[in-house]
Amino acid sequence: MRSEEKKAAVAAYKERKTAAGIYLLRCEPSGQRWVGRATDLGSIENRLRFTLRHRSHTHRGLQAAWDAHGPEAFRLEELERLDEESLAYVRDRLLKERLGHWLAKLGAEAI
């Protein structure tokens, strides 16, 4: 790949739109379920499967279920997708609430 093509590919990757949201990971044989959040729902399944396949997932119960039942037993389901407008709104609201908390707790002034 030429340098210009590589730069264009990197730029396109950085500018791509991602959808954030909540997902459910289900182990069919055991009935176990895990819920998580992702800033990029399009890539979360690959990330989860990679870490589980390499036995490096930090959740011990999930890793144990993967080891016991194998990758075919797991299904990923999108529970909620957030649009870009709501992400900014949620982020701003949360920041405002946390600011109020710390202002009250420390008796500080807002700048």
- Residue 89 resides in a domain: no
Query: pTM here?
Result: 0.67
**Residue-wise pLDDT tens digits, 4-38:** 888 887 877 767 776 766 678 999 999 998 878 77
How many structural domains does the chain have?
A: 1
Residues with Cβ within 8 Å of residue 93, at least 6 apart in sequence: none
- Residue 60 resides in a domain: yes
Write out the residue range of the structural domain in which residue 76 sits.
20-82
Rounded Cα–Cα distance for residues 49 and 108 (Å): 46
- Residue 15 resides in a domain: no
**Residue-wise pLDDT tens digits, 37-86:** 777 879 999 999 999 999 999 999 999 999 999 999 999 998 767 666 55
- Residue 106 resides in a domain: no
Residue 95: pLDDT over 90? no
Q: What's the CATH number where 39 sits?
A: 3.40.1440.10
Strand arrangement of the beta sheet that strand 74-82 belongs to:
33-38, 20-27, 74-82
- Residue 55 resides in a domain: yes
